[in-house]
Amino acid sequence: MNPLRPALFFVAALFLLTASAPSHAAQDLEDSQLLHPAPDSWPSYHGDYSGERHVHLTQISQQNVGSLALAWAFQTNQGAEIKSSPLLVDGVIYFTVPDNVWAVDARSGHMIWRYRRPSIGEHIGHRGVAMYKGWLFFTTPDDHLISLDAKNGKVRWDKIIADQSKGYWSTMAPLVVKNHVIAGVGGDLDNLPGLLRSFDPETGETQWQWFSTPPAGTPNAPTGGMTWMTGTYDPELNLVYWGTGNPTPVLNGKTRPGDDANTCSIVAIDPDNGKLAWGFVVSPHDTHDWDAVETPVLVDGEFHGQRRKMLMQTSRNGYFFVLDRTNGKDLLTVPYGPVDWALGIDKQGRPIPNPDKEPMPDGRLIAPAEGGLTNYRSPSFDPRTGLFIVDANPSWSLYFAKPADGAYGWAGADYDLWGKGVIEAIDYQTGRIRWSHEAGEGGDGAGVMTTDTGLTFTGDGYGNMMALDTATGKTLWHAGTGAPMQSSPISYMLDGRQYVLAGSGGVLFAWALPESPAAASRTHPAAH
């Protein structure tokens, strides 16, 4: 059994005691609650430090999920799509779009407060806030880290993660580990080194920085390696695991010969000092923009008969990786969809890029497309079936690069030809796909969450949110939400009911089983 999984400690009892009392402890979040999230919480982007996005909640089952109904919907009344995973702490939901944080009462579905901070910089999306004690941590398009009071959205401090005027931005939910708030950046339109910066949660002072690459201008070296998704954490090894983005210049690899470490890599870093423990290059010498920032999912279990501390990633480049997370050694590398760009796998378990499939003046047909065989929407690991379930996108693109495109930023052009969404369940020990569930042509599926009752919550490219049977992929429930889900679902218990939340378009939907008749009669007493 995975030692990282939450257990019902006295922490849960403490929550129940304090939840009704308006005390200072209400809506705070301590280390222990991040390490062992209580059932009535979703305290961080992934839900817990493992990134498995698997909940040990059993109220919603395969037998009753067909009755799942809308509990409430929160309308943001603005145009940006919700890509964030909401947090649920002590009955309050916190979620984001670029420049905006909402606090919503999880019982009424109504807004408590909203924080707006218009900014310059890249507004492509936003993954959510982090929380620690009574404070929220919010990254911005102009690459600031803002700390807000969770009670009212007031700014406590405002610090810079990286210089927006150089081309950096931020969209990610930071990771809180002990007394470190770790934030990452985006920015591959310029030749910039990717970085992680750790902030003191009280003062906002920088504790350490880690850079993915040497400084810009270093001969024969890449820049890039952006850190635009949230990492995971192993408290026993005291290592944070992070995926890094593609190197720059993006489509032209001539100025950066070699593997281009630590771009397109999974890295293990000591959260106390930012020192690199190991790095594994998932896409050596990438020239297709295939960021390896997808969730580094931490799983403790058997691998071919031996107990292992593993790290799994369905990477954008089309390969499913299983690594030993104590030392970064590869255990398995298998494609999970069409790929045409590699000559094989090397002795270290890394794909060998085919030089003839680099972008060329007359174009190259490449699978997967530039958006990748998967993207930022989260996968889920189900411990009972050993299935790694991912929103996959079999696809093809044309890639072009010529000398006139230069060696700065994108340095070329690429064009999607075709793709479709498929939810795939991968046997983690072999990489074989146990089942596939079609999710629509021309689009993507949604992020994935699994539960202890064998349910897989996800969505298709047409706006249907769905519950599938984790063992077979069969649809057990669905509801049309009106927009393809660009986020990853969460779930929690509140007041004895299990809720499943997902943002779709500009609306946050909360689903639950209808209240029991006894409970309903208390809510709706007979009219007089």
Partner 1 sequence: MCHGAQRQGNPPQVPSLVGVGKRMTDDQITDMIHKGKAPMPPFPDIKDDELKALLKFLTGKEPAAAPAAPANPEAADDTEQAEPAGTPQPGRAIFQQNCSFCHGRDAMGGETGPDLTRSKLVTEDKTGDKILAVVREGRPGNKMPAFNFSSQQQQDLLAFIRARVAEVAAHPGGRRGVEVSDLQTGNADAGKAYFNGAGGCAKCHSPTGDLAGIANHYDGLALEERMLYPWNAKSAVTVTLPSGEKISGTLAYLDEFTVALRDSIGTYRSWPTSRVRYKVDAPVNAHVDQFPKYTDDDIHNLMAYIQTLR
Q: Which residues bind partner 1 (CB under 8 A)?
A: 78-79, 81, 118-124, 141, 165, 189-190, 216-217, 289, 338, 340, 356, 360-365, 367, 369-371, 396-398, 400, 402, 404-418, 438, 440-444, 460-462, 464, 475, 478, 480, 484, 486
Q: Which residue has the tokens 């954490």?
A: 233
Record the tokens describing residue 292, joined without a space.
């390896």
40 vs 122 by CB, closer to partner 1: 122
Q: Tell me how far, at minimum, the Cβ of 507 lies from partner 1, in Å.
A: 14
How many C-beta neighbours within 10 Å does residue 39 have? 19
Q: Tell me how far, at minimum, the Cβ of 356 lies from partner 1, in Å.
A: 8
Number of residues that this document lists for the chain: 528
38 vs 366 by CB, closer to partner 1: 366
Q: Tell me how far, at minimum, the Cβ of 11 lies from partner 1, in Å.
A: 40
39 neighbors 88 (Cβ within 8 angstroms): no
Record the tokens describing residue 455, joined without a space.
């349910």
61 vs 119 by CB, closer to partner 1: 119
Going by their DSSP bridges, the two strands 449-451 and 54-55 should be labelled as: parallel
Q: Tell me how far, at minimum, the Cβ of 25 lies from partner 1, in Å.
A: 37
257 vs 361 by CB, closer to partner 1: 361
Rounded distance between C-alpha atoms, residue 245 and residue 212, angstroms = 9
DSSP code string of 66-92: GG-EEEEEEE--SSSPP-PPPEEETTE
Q: Tell me how far, at minimum, the Cβ of 170 lies from partner 1, in Å.
A: 13
Rounded distance between C-alpha atoms, residue 367 and residue 239, angstroms = 33
404 vs 527 by CB, closer to partner 1: 404
Q: Tell me how far, at minimum, the Cβ of 114 lies from partner 1, in Å.
A: 15
5 vs 402 by CB, closer to partner 1: 402
Q: Tell me how far, at minimum, the Cβ of 93 lies from partner 1, in Å.
A: 24
Rounded distance between C-alpha atoms, residue 425 and residue 470, angstroms = 8
Radius of gyration for the chain, computed over Cα atoms and rounded to the nearest angstrom:
22
Record the tokens describing residue 431, joined without a space.
């990489």
Provide the 3-class DSSP secondary structure of residue 511.
strand
Rounded distance between C-alpha atoms, residue 280 and residue 480, angstroms = 40
444: which residues sit within 8 A by CB, 6+ positions away? 371, 375, 377, 391, 393, 419, 421, 461, 484
301 vs 363 by CB, closer to partner 1: 363
